[in-house]
Protein backbone atom coordinates (compact mmCIF):
# COMPACT_ATOMS: atom_id res chain seq x y z
CA UNK A 1 0.00 0.00 0.00
CA UNK A 2 1.05 3.54 -0.67
CA UNK A 3 0.03 6.19 1.88
CA UNK A 4 0.06 9.85 0.82
CA UNK A 5 -0.85 12.56 3.31
CA UNK A 6 -2.82 15.23 1.46
CA UNK A 7 -2.73 18.99 2.08
CA UNK A 8 -4.57 18.72 5.41
CA UNK A 9 -2.75 16.97 8.26
CA UNK A 10 -4.12 13.50 8.93
CA UNK A 11 -6.11 13.16 5.69
CA UNK A 12 -4.44 10.30 3.83
CA UNK A 13 -4.95 8.87 0.35
CA UNK A 14 -4.33 5.12 0.34
CA UNK A 15 -3.48 3.25 -2.85
CA UNK A 16 -3.62 -0.51 -2.32
CA UNK A 17 -1.42 -2.90 -4.25
CA UNK A 18 -3.68 -4.85 -6.59
CA UNK A 19 -2.76 -8.37 -7.69
CA UNK A 20 -4.67 -9.29 -10.82
CA UNK A 21 -4.74 -12.08 -13.36
CA UNK A 22 -7.23 -13.71 -15.72
CA UNK A 23 -9.38 -14.78 -12.74
CA UNK A 24 -9.83 -11.28 -11.31
CA UNK A 25 -7.92 -9.45 -8.59
CA UNK A 26 -7.00 -9.43 -4.90
CA UNK A 27 -6.02 -6.51 -2.68
CA UNK A 28 -5.71 -5.69 1.00
CA UNK A 29 -7.96 -2.81 1.98
CA UNK A 30 -6.87 -2.66 5.61
CA UNK A 31 -3.81 -3.89 7.48
CA UNK A 32 -3.58 -2.63 11.07
CA UNK A 33 0.23 -2.69 11.24
CA UNK A 34 0.76 -0.97 7.87
CA UNK A 35 -1.82 1.67 8.71
CA UNK A 36 -0.14 2.29 12.10
CA UNK A 37 3.27 2.62 10.43
CA UNK A 38 1.71 5.27 8.17
CA UNK A 39 0.42 7.19 11.20
CA UNK A 40 -3.17 5.88 11.13
CA UNK A 41 -3.69 4.18 14.49
CA UNK A 42 -7.47 4.20 14.19
CA UNK A 43 -9.59 1.34 15.45
CA UNK A 44 -12.69 0.82 13.34
CA UNK A 45 -15.91 -0.19 15.12
CA UNK A 46 -18.60 0.18 12.43
CA UNK A 47 -18.82 -0.26 8.66
CA UNK A 48 -21.45 1.40 6.46
CA UNK A 49 -22.49 0.91 2.84
CA UNK A 50 -24.39 3.53 0.85
CA UNK A 51 -25.62 3.79 -2.72
CA UNK A 52 -26.15 7.15 -4.39
CA UNK A 53 -27.52 8.11 -7.77
CA UNK A 54 -25.58 10.40 -10.12
CA UNK A 55 -25.16 14.07 -9.06
CA UNK A 56 -26.02 13.27 -5.43
CA UNK A 57 -24.04 15.36 -2.95
CA UNK A 58 -23.98 14.05 0.62
CA UNK A 59 -22.62 16.16 3.42
CA UNK A 60 -20.92 17.74 5.05
CA UNK A 61 -21.55 15.46 8.03
CA UNK A 62 -19.84 14.97 11.38
CA UNK A 63 -20.60 13.96 14.96
CA UNK A 64 -19.85 16.41 17.74
CA UNK A 65 -19.42 14.54 21.05
CA UNK A 66 -18.51 11.17 19.52
CA UNK A 67 -16.45 12.10 16.44
CA UNK A 68 -15.80 9.56 13.73
CA UNK A 69 -12.70 9.00 11.69
CA UNK A 70 -13.62 7.36 8.38
CA UNK A 71 -11.89 5.08 5.90
CA UNK A 72 -13.80 5.54 2.62
CA UNK A 73 -13.72 3.44 -0.54
CA UNK A 74 -15.91 2.94 -3.60
CA UNK A 75 -16.93 -0.51 -4.83
CA UNK A 76 -19.09 0.60 -7.78
CA UNK A 77 -18.96 3.86 -9.72
CA UNK A 78 -17.02 6.99 -8.78
CA UNK A 79 -17.17 9.85 -6.28
CA UNK A 80 -15.38 13.07 -5.48
CA UNK A 81 -14.71 12.69 -1.74
CA UNK A 82 -14.12 15.77 0.43
CA UNK A 83 -12.81 16.39 3.95
CA UNK A 84 -13.19 19.80 5.64
CA UNK A 85 -11.19 20.71 8.75
CA UNK A 86 -13.79 21.95 11.26
CA UNK A 87 -11.59 21.98 14.39
CA UNK A 88 -11.98 25.54 15.70
CA UNK A 89 -8.38 25.72 17.02
CA UNK A 90 -6.73 24.16 13.96
CA UNK A 91 -4.41 26.25 11.78
CA UNK A 92 -6.16 24.70 8.76
CA UNK A 93 -9.70 25.40 10.04
CA UNK A 94 -12.18 25.76 7.18
CA UNK A 95 -9.85 24.32 4.53
CA UNK A 96 -10.85 21.37 2.40
CA UNK A 97 -9.21 18.64 0.37
CA UNK A 98 -10.78 16.29 -2.16
CA UNK A 99 -9.88 13.04 -3.90
CA UNK A 100 -11.38 11.06 -6.74
CA UNK A 101 -12.28 7.59 -5.52
CA UNK A 102 -13.65 4.93 -7.84
CA UNK A 103 -14.14 1.22 -8.22
CA UNK A 104 -11.63 1.46 -11.05
CA UNK A 105 -8.76 3.21 -9.22
CA UNK A 106 -9.53 1.40 -5.89
CA UNK A 107 -8.12 4.31 -3.86
CA UNK A 108 -9.28 4.93 -0.31
CA UNK A 109 -9.37 8.10 1.76
CA UNK A 110 -8.78 8.22 5.50
CA UNK A 111 -10.48 11.19 7.16
CA UNK A 112 -9.64 11.65 10.86
CA UNK A 113 -12.09 12.83 13.49
CA UNK A 114 -12.40 16.61 13.61
CA UNK A 115 -13.23 16.78 9.92
CA UNK A 116 -16.59 17.01 8.21
CA UNK A 117 -17.10 14.59 5.32
CA UNK A 118 -19.04 14.79 2.09
CA UNK A 119 -18.98 13.44 -1.43
CA UNK A 120 -20.49 13.87 -4.87
CA UNK A 121 -21.41 10.95 -7.12
CA UNK A 122 -19.55 11.35 -10.42
CA UNK A 123 -21.01 8.32 -12.21
CA UNK A 124 -24.57 7.16 -12.93
CA UNK A 125 -24.55 5.65 -9.42
CA UNK A 126 -21.93 4.82 -6.80
CA UNK A 127 -21.67 2.42 -3.90
CA UNK A 128 -19.51 3.60 -1.03
CA UNK A 129 -18.24 1.57 1.90
CA UNK A 130 -16.76 3.36 4.88
CA UNK A 131 -15.44 2.17 8.19
CA UNK A 132 -15.87 4.42 11.23
CA UNK A 133 -13.85 4.84 14.42
CA UNK A 134 -16.94 5.53 16.51
CA UNK A 135 -20.53 4.36 16.45
CA UNK A 136 -23.18 6.42 14.69
CA UNK A 137 -25.38 8.36 17.12
CA UNK A 138 -28.22 10.23 15.41
CA UNK A 139 -28.63 12.70 18.28
CA UNK A 140 -24.96 13.68 17.89
CA UNK A 141 -25.01 14.21 14.13
CA UNK A 142 -24.30 17.68 12.75
CA UNK A 143 -23.78 19.17 9.33
CA UNK A 144 -22.25 22.07 7.42
CA UNK A 145 -23.77 23.50 4.26
CA UNK A 146 -22.46 21.60 1.23
CA UNK A 147 -21.81 24.78 -0.80
CA UNK A 148 -20.67 27.13 1.97
CA UNK A 149 -18.82 29.89 0.08
CA UNK A 150 -16.38 30.33 2.97
CA UNK A 151 -15.18 26.77 2.37
CA UNK A 152 -15.38 27.02 -1.42
CA UNK A 153 -15.41 23.40 -2.54
CA UNK A 154 -15.29 23.05 -6.32
CA UNK A 155 -17.89 20.32 -6.81
CA UNK A 156 -18.04 18.37 -10.08
CA UNK A 157 -21.74 19.21 -10.52
CA UNK A 158 -23.70 22.46 -10.69
CA UNK A 159 -27.11 20.84 -10.21
CA UNK A 160 -26.79 18.42 -7.26
CA UNK A 161 -29.44 16.19 -5.76
CA UNK A 162 -29.54 16.90 -2.00
CA UNK A 163 -31.37 15.62 1.05
CA UNK A 164 -33.69 18.08 2.78
CA UNK A 165 -31.27 18.29 5.68
CA UNK A 166 -28.16 18.87 3.56
CA UNK A 167 -29.99 21.66 1.75
CA UNK A 168 -30.39 23.67 5.01
CA UNK A 169 -27.31 22.82 7.11
CA UNK A 170 -25.68 25.93 8.63
CA UNK A 171 -22.61 27.59 7.21
CA UNK A 172 -19.35 26.85 8.99
CA UNK A 173 -19.19 30.35 10.50
CA UNK A 174 -22.68 29.87 12.01
CA UNK A 175 -22.04 26.43 13.56
CA UNK A 176 -20.40 27.96 16.68
CA UNK A 177 -20.42 25.59 19.66
CA UNK A 178 -21.43 22.72 17.38
CA UNK A 179 -17.81 22.45 16.17
CA UNK A 180 -15.03 20.39 17.77
CA UNK A 181 -11.98 22.00 19.37
Catalytic residue numbers, as ranges: 61, 130
b/e code 6-26 from CB counts within 10 Å (16+ = b): bebebbbbbebeeeeeeeeee
CB contact at 8 A, 175 and 142? yes
Distance CA 42, CA 39 (A): 9
Quick check: 113 and 68 in contact, CB under 8 A? Answer: yes
Amino acid sequence: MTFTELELPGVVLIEPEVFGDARGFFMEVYHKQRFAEAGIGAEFVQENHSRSEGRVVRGFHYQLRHPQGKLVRVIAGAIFDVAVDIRRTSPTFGRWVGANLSAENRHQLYIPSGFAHGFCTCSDAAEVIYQCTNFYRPEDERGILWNDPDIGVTWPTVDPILSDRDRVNPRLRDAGADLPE
